Structure formats: C-alpha cells, structure tokens
Amino acid sequence: MYPQFLSALTDFCVTARLSGALFSGGCWSTVIGGEEAVPAVLSKVCMRRIEGEFCSFAHGDGLCIACPLKAGGCWAAFWTLPLPPSSDEAVVRSYVLLLDAIIAIHLGRPKTRLRGPIACHDRRVRRIIERFEQNLQEVPSLDELASMSALTKSSLCRLFKAETGNSISSYLQILRIEASLALLTDQRLSITQVALRCGYADPAYFARIFRQRMGISAQQWRLRVGGCP
C-alpha cells in the first residue's frame, strides 16, 4: 500500500503546488516537489504521536503540515503553505481533506464488474450462463450446451457471441475471474485454493488469465482490496 500512498501524495503536491514526503517504518521517503530535504521541524513528528487529524508548524515564510493517514500506518507531510492565510485552521483542514480525497481515489477498489446483467440476453444464453454460475468447476461440453439450447454448435456459438460480445470459453473465463475476486478477500484461502474453487486445475494458468483480465496479479489485487500494507 505504501507505493499507492506515495503516488497519491505526488498527485496532491502537484495539484496544490506544494512539497511533501511520506513517513513509514522509521524513515522518510524521497521528497516530492522542489525542496531538497525534509524541513527539520518535521523531526517532531518522529518523536511523538500526532494528536487529532493533523498538526502544523511554522516553516520559513510558510507552514508545514503533518497528518496520520487513515490506513497503512503511514504519515504524510506537506509544505510550504504561505502565511497568511493558510495558518487558519479551516484552510489547513481543507488541504488535509483534499489529500484524503486523492488517497481514497488511489486506494479505490479495482473495478470488479466484468460483464453486463444477464437479464438482457436471449433466454437460451441466460440458461447457459446460469448453468455455468451454478458450478464453475464442472461445466458442460459444447455438445451438451448445444443440446440444452436446441441449437447446433455453430449456431449456439454465433448466438452467444452476438448476445454477450464474448465467445463461450471467454465468457466462462470472465465468470471464473469474477468468482475469484470475492474469494481473494478471504485471507484464509491460498491463491491455489482460490484457483481450484473457480475451476482452474492449473494455478499458473489462473495467474496468467487473472493478470490479463484485471491488469494486476491476484496477490496484488488481494493486497489492494484487503487493505494490507
């Protein structure tokens, strides 16, 4: 989670035209912005716990603000806010709220909805999707699906593609990845267990498909949605 905080603070400093830094695990990160070093006044943050939402210190002709972040055990600091009027608590608080909002965007859960609602599809396509959803580990063959739909295999494939925008096999992969997203939030399950429960006998294949669909690895997704540092 630390890299996401750093990225969020970078966005904040660019937006507000400030310098800043993150504090975590006993040391400051690389400074963001024009300053070459963290203001010495911020050593106070290292020595005592911040009481409340933030604390502020005079810094040259401006102001330096430090605040604990709401997750991940990190601290953020940014400077130089010109004095006056930024010594006014309401103004200072607005900067802290802006930082909170940008962090929330960076820590937002990845988009998990990979497909549209099935209600708008042809009833034969809906029946196949519902059949898949009932048991992702044991899915019917194409011959069985065609028989269920009273269509030839080629006709079924064309209909399914036209209705969903995906081939049958591709849509099944989407269902399996969607199912894995919920399972990955359960820290008691290993990635291999998640893969097996979603119908992937080969965890390496699951890992490859997951990254293709979600843009990140299953482990990275787990850390992001689980709020783990």
- Tens digit of pLDDT for each residue in 136-186? 999 999 999 999 999 999 999 999 999 888 899 999 998 999 889 888 888
Per-residue pLDDT at 47: 56
Cα–Cα distance between 185 and 226 in angstroms, integer? 6
Cα–Cα distance between 161 and 175 in angstroms, integer? 15
pLDDT digits 0-9 by tens, 190-222: 999 999 999 999 999 999 999 888 888 899 888
Do residues 122 and 159 make contact, with C-beta atoms less than 8 angstroms apart?
Answer: yes
Chain position carrying tokens 């209705």:
163
Chain position carrying tokens 């998990």:
112
Alpha helices per DSSP H over the chain: 2-16, 43-47, 89-106, 123-134, 142-149, 153-164, 168-184, 191-197, 203-214, 218-226
How much of the chain exceeds pLDDT 90, in percent? Answer: 30
Q: Which two tokens stand for residue 48?
A: 């005592």
Among candidate residues 122, 124, 175, 129, the one with its CA nearest the CA of residue 146: 124
Q: What is the rounded average pLDDT of the residues 111-132? A: 80
Q: How many CA atoms lie within 13 A of 49 on its CB side?
A: 3
Each domain of the chain, given as residue ranges in start order, spans 2-106, 118-226
Per-residue pLDDT at 127: 93
Identify the CATH number of the domain defined by range 118-226.
Answer: 1.10.10.60
Q: Which fold has domain 2-106?
A: Beta-Lactamase (3.30.450)
- Within 10 Å of residue 113's Cβ, how many Cβ atoms? 8
Rounded to two decimals, the pTM is 0.52
pLDDT digits 0-9 by tens, 12-68: 888 888 888 887 765 666 678 766 677 877 766 655 666 667 888 888 788 888 888
